[in-house]
Structure 1
């Protein structure tokens, strides 16, 4: 078993850390992102006062924080991980951040004597709780092989995409597909509802045909039952789509569907919905239609 530093105990990070503790690993954390609750503390997780102190005590470090600047602060900011990094330490960033800065972070950690992999996840809170996350990994073959036993404790589908940054590229692509599929499910159910059909039965029928998807299953039910507690917050999906659109501009690439989904998320945020689950995109469409699903 390993001594693991885990920074980022939010909606996703808390159950992920719990699985590692249950697997017998020792965990230490720096609490700025999320909180060390009684459950994790009872399982033996300990707290220190800086990322540097985490690095001084860990042979593997996992970060699961909200955005690129947060990863930068934890890794190379004042009293950051790089200041306390031990030779050979494996750093696994499981946050969803920009690919190009990821490559720069990997270089800094490597130059400091560590090994770096980017390993963003998909599957939401349910995947984190059930240890069924999809994990997309960028890094060297050696880094991937070292990280794999730890990642297998938290995820089910683990794929080595390529070199440093490739995991984050894959995650951006994932977030594009997820956003547009949620939007499609919302539009289909909204159409059926306003046209007078029983939207519950429409969803049931669609789940048996080509339109079937996990998103229609999970988020379609959220839309019908009006359960918009996260989950995965709209503001975080906005962040991911910003990464997609910024990268698209640098690639001279047009992503019109992504831009449209981002505008619908923005409409939700403008109506105090930044912390709704991303299935709440349906509320923006409902406002445009002057109709609520199931009404």
Structure 2
């Protein structure tokens, strides 16, 4: 397919590379000159204007940081959906709110476009390896049409509904992910203050019944005191707001999520906003009178 790719960020870059390697003709649009340069360094075609690029596009894939960026680049004045030809496939992979996604859906329907909600779950390394998990929702025909593109970056594709269910699914998973990491920080502080060596504590946690692949990955990073961001504290705070807002609209209590939101708030206020959200372990240790 001829694809216009919107957003060449940390996740968008390896995902786009996988799609290009799968044989699709891909052109990249990003508002950042630095990210456009990164695309050129990968020998990818970069477009400066969406209008001309979309005239030949069969599909649009967007990987954007938040609601405002998605709404601006997709539905805003001069946005992609204003210039796309009728019938184009739209695959939206960002973590955005249900309300923003509904606005995109309405604009796509007005252009008779197939709209697939396809938020992703996984690391930058997983994106590069094509082993992301993607939650998808939309009409069955759209899912089938999009499958060859989505499968370029995802080894696991979960169909969860025909409308906005994929947005809810991604927020639910992120709720569990951030709660797990915060509980790792608390367990680590408890163990080390209780006289257990850090490595022994983290090895035991990883080998326990709770030792999921993600927990082991974060425990290894904590052992190395490596807070290089795979997903920053600031980004997780954005997602936690989406979670709390979405839960409020559905009248679902997220008591643990509210507590973790405050932990991440304290972590950002402590100057760790650009570090991996695992940095919450440093704040939790500080509250217990210790340092990481």
TM over 0.5: yes
154-163 vs 207-216, greater mean Cα deviation? 207-216
- TM-superposed deviation, 1:235: 1.2
- TM-superposed deviation, 1:233: 1.3
- TM-superposed deviation, 1:136: 0.4
Extract unaligned runs of 5+ from structure 1: none
Counterpart CA distance in 2 for 1:253 and 1:245 is 9
- TM-superposed deviation, 1:267: 0.8
Task: Note if 1:96 corresponds to 2:88.
Answer: no
Give the length in aligned residue pairs: 291
Contact 2:7/2:30 (8 A) holds in 1? yes
Partner-residue secondary structure (3-state), 2:28: strand
Counterpart CA distance in 1 for 2:201 and 2:12 is 35
TM-score calculated relative to the size of structure 2? 0.94
Q: Residue in 2 aligned with 1:19?
A: 18
Partner-residue secondary structure (3-state), 2:207: coil
Partner-residue secondary structure (3-state), 1:5: strand
- TM-superposed deviation, 1:217: 0.7
24-33 vs 225-234, greater mean Cα deviation? 24-33
Q: Residue in 1 aligned with 2:249?
A: 250
- TM-superposed deviation, 1:51: 3.5
TM-score calculated relative to the size of structure 1? 0.94
Counterpart CA distance in 2 for 1:226 and 1:207 is 16
Pairing of 1:160-239 with structure 2 (within 5 A): 160-239=159-238
Q: Residue in 2 aligned with 1:35?
A: 35
Counterpart CA distance in 1 for 2:51 and 2:72 is 11
Contact 2:29/2:50 (8 A) holds in 1? yes
Counterpart CA distance in 2 for 1:26 and 1:6 is 10
Q: Residue in 2 aligned with 1:149?
A: 148
98-107 vs 200-209, greater mean Cα deviation? 200-209
Contact 2:87/2:111 (8 A) holds in 1? no
Counterpart CA distance in 2 for 1:127 and 1:135 is 11
The two structures, once aligned, show a CA RMSD in angstroms of 1.6
Change in CA separation of 1:30 and 1:115 when aligned onto 2, cut-off 3 Å: same
176-185 vs 104-113, greater mean Cα deviation? 104-113
Extract unaligned runs of 5+ from structure 2: none
Contact 2:8/2:29 (8 A) holds in 1? no
Pairing of 1:126-137 with structure 2 (within 5 A): 126-137=125-136
